[in-house]
Amino acid sequence: MEDLTLEQALGELEQVITQLDAGDLDLNQVLALYERGQWLARRCQQQLDEAELRIEQLAGNG
């Protein structure tokens, strides 16, 4: 997996959306961007889930 921080991933996701929003792309580009966007979103979600789990575990051990 790519080594992306949450911030980076969120930032890139925003860029992807801006690009998609702008239109004037061909379908292949749109598909590639969309796929990347969903991948980024999943990855962010995963990172957030993991972070939350860790925080809860750490807090629980206190």
Partner 1 sequence: MFGESYSVSEITAHIKERLDSDPTIQDLWVRGEILNWSQPRSGHCYFTIKDAGAAIRAVMWRFAADHLSFVPQDGQAVLAHGKVSVYAPQGSYQLYVDALQPAGRGALYAQFEAVKERLAAEGLFETSRKRPLVPFPTTVGVVTSATGAALRDILHVLGRRWPIVQVVLAPTLVQGEQAPSQIVAALELLYGRDDIDLIIVARGGGSIEDLWAFNDEQVARTLARSPVPTISGVGHETDVTIADFCADVRAPTPSAAAEVAVPDQAQVRESLSGIQKTLTESALAYLHQKAQRLGDLQQRLDKLSPELRVVRHRQQVDELASALQRLGERSIQARRERLVGLVGRLAGLDPNATLARGYAIVHKQGRIVQSADQLSVGDELDIRVARGAFRADVTSVEEAR
Residue ranges that bind partner 1, judged by CB under 8 A: 6, 10, 13-14, 16-17, 20-21, 27, 30-31, 34, 37-38, 41, 44-45, 48, 51-52, 55, 58-59, 62
Q: Which is nearer to partner 1, 3 or 28 (CB)?
A: 28
Least distance from partner 1 to the Cβ atom of residue 4, Å: 13
State the burial class of residue 16 (Cβ atoms within 10 Å of its Cβ: 0-12, 13-18, 19+). Answer: buried
CB of 4 or CB of 34, closer to partner 1: 34
What token pair was written down for 26?
């061909």
Residue 13 in 3-state DSSP? helix
As a whole number of Å, the end-to-end CA separation of the chain is 32
